[in-house]
Structure 1
């Protein structure tokens, strides 16, 4: 029985990884009308609403993911990049995508007709927990979206690059994790733009997704995110792991609430996340054995 389960996991992981470069010409679940996409696992196709169709579950573990050519930005006055990052990245102004009103609205789930899950990791990078999460995702061939806080990213640039080099999607989660509803328009722009500029300089990629802390968007933050070429990603499964309710509670909440098209919220930063790491070890193989594939936006 154990050998059959192990074989199934390996087949699911291999299917997701092999389609990364093979499936082309399919619509992306994350950017309406964008041709850069592929299927999660063995499935591909268009999705409903703003979410669209799934993309591949994982890049080959440990292999560098492509950078956006010609998208590097010069250092801004709002934050300074590590010397190694600035020296390695050409000073070219990033080209930001112009979003439609529909694309500017938060996305909370993907296509419910497909057995696909988007795993999202918030509040890092954290030198205590992020490396363990990366190793676990590499073990299962899962590609996730990391919503990074600027003040953490500036302290750990090598870890930011490691996340990107493992093929995961790098996204914006503000500079200081404030409640955006209480900030002025200028402060909101500084929080988002400063973080995007730093992540661009560090990885060579312009962030294309944003998540408001606590999911508390405001009209001003939606506008600023759109101005910076970022769509907004919410979630549909929240185990409240940040409150540290216990590994079994986190695991049970996710397995109870997960469904096809779910966007799952977890945290690798903001405190002791050992319960979250233990829960990931428990529920990821269960979801894989249940036939779920994992997806993230294209880089």
Structure 2
């Protein structure tokens, strides 16, 4: 109100205007005290800030604590999404009973052009899948066989690069053996292995921890055919039949020595297992 207008205002109205102004100022002081985050009105030409939630209780009410508080949305921003990894185990899987009346056939040390193709042909004849734990140096040397294993739908696992005794290596050595093998398998077939097996079944903390770090599960076995001893085809067949049971994992080899007995034994015990009602399958992830 201009000064000349104020002077022309009757005294009674002047008193009412003074009272209203005083009440407005008192209300403003009360709101600022109740909400320390409140912001005064912006200067002309500036945008008004977003209103803040009142933190204090309404006037005249008891000051009660509340478990609920309004928080900025950034307080609940989800963490960056990472690929799921299996837990760090202290023992490898030795059997897979959750698969029901099924068995898993596994072959280590390959691929080898002298024996792997015959094993693949037998598995293909009966329409079953197996697991092949490959050594990195063998996979790198026989990439066409790695492709053949993958194309037939078998599961490819990591069996180190040079088949060393892992327990005798440093942590860096274990990482190199496992990492190089996963890298070359992924380079060949487009997917890194999800399972690994320690050479000689020699596990230690480094193998478990680094395997989990690389996104792999540890796989051992239930029945060892001991085919690497070349005990005779009939002996290998007898060992597999004797150990047959739901969830059993059978260990054989398609490289690392003369494996003609392994090839011949598979041709005999595989149809027998199927005839006994066993389903020959593979785990993709536990």
- Whether the TM-score (by the shorter chain) exceeds 0.5 is yes
Runs of 4+ in 1 over 2 A off after TM superposition: none
Instruction: Tell me what 1:270 maps to.
Output: 256
Q: Deviations over 1:4-37 (max 9, x none)?
A: xxxxxxxxxxxxxxxxxxxxxxxxxxxxxxxxxx
| Contact kept in structure 2, 1:236 and 1:264, CA below 8 Å | yes
**Cα RMSD after superposing both structures:** 1.5
Secondary structure at the residue paired with 2:103?
Answer: strand
Instruction: Tell me what 2:105 maps to.
Output: 119
Higher helix fraction (1 or 2): 2
Deviation, structure 1 residue 112: 6.7
Does 2:75 match 1:109? no
TM-score, normalised relative to structure 2:
0.69
Secondary structure at the residue paired with 2:93?
Answer: coil
Does 2:91 match 1:98? no
Deviation, structure 1 residue 191: 0.1
Secondary structure at the residue paired with 2:241?
Answer: helix
Output aligned runs, 1:195-274, within 5 Å.
Answer: 195-274=181-260
| Contact kept in structure 1, 2:135 and 2:158, CA below 8 Å | yes
| Contact kept in structure 2, 1:112 and 1:259, CA below 8 Å | no
Question: 2 CA distance for matches of 1:98 and 1:278?
Answer: 38
Give the counterpart of 1:128 among 92, 114, 122.
Answer: 114
| Contact kept in structure 1, 2:106 and 2:251, CA below 8 Å | yes
Question: 2 CA distance for matches of 1:112 and 1:205?
Answer: 25
Q: How many residues align?
A: 204
Deviation, structure 1 residue 113: 8.0
Secondary structure at the residue paired with 1:124?
Answer: coil
Question: 1 CA distance for matches of 2:202 and 2:177?
Answer: 14
Q: Deviations over 1:58-110 (max 9, x none)?
A: xxxxxxxxxxxxxxxxxxxxxxxxxxxxxxxxxxxxx85422235x6411101
TM-score, normalised relative to structure 1:
0.66
Question: 1 CA distance for matches of 2:227 and 2:120?
Answer: 18
Instruction: Tell me what 2:51 maps to.
Output: none
Secondary structure at the residue paired with 1:259?
Answer: coil
Q: Deviations over 1:141-194 (max 9, x none)?
A: 111010000010110001101100010011100000000010000000000000
| Contact kept in structure 1, 2:88 and 2:208, CA below 8 Å | no
| Contact kept in structure 2, 1:144 and 1:169, CA below 8 Å | yes
Structure 1, unmatched stretches of 5+, are 1-94
Question: 2 CA distance for matches of 1:165 and 1:100?
Answer: 29
| Contact kept in structure 2, 1:96 and 1:228, CA below 8 Å | no
Please tell me whether Structure 1 or Structure 2 has the larger radius of gyration of its CA atoms: 2
Deviation, structure 1 residue 129: 0.4
Give the counterpart of 1:194 among 158, 180, 191.
Answer: 180
Secondary structure at the residue paired with 1:272?
Answer: coil
Question: 1 CA distance for matches of 2:189 and 2:101?
Answer: 31
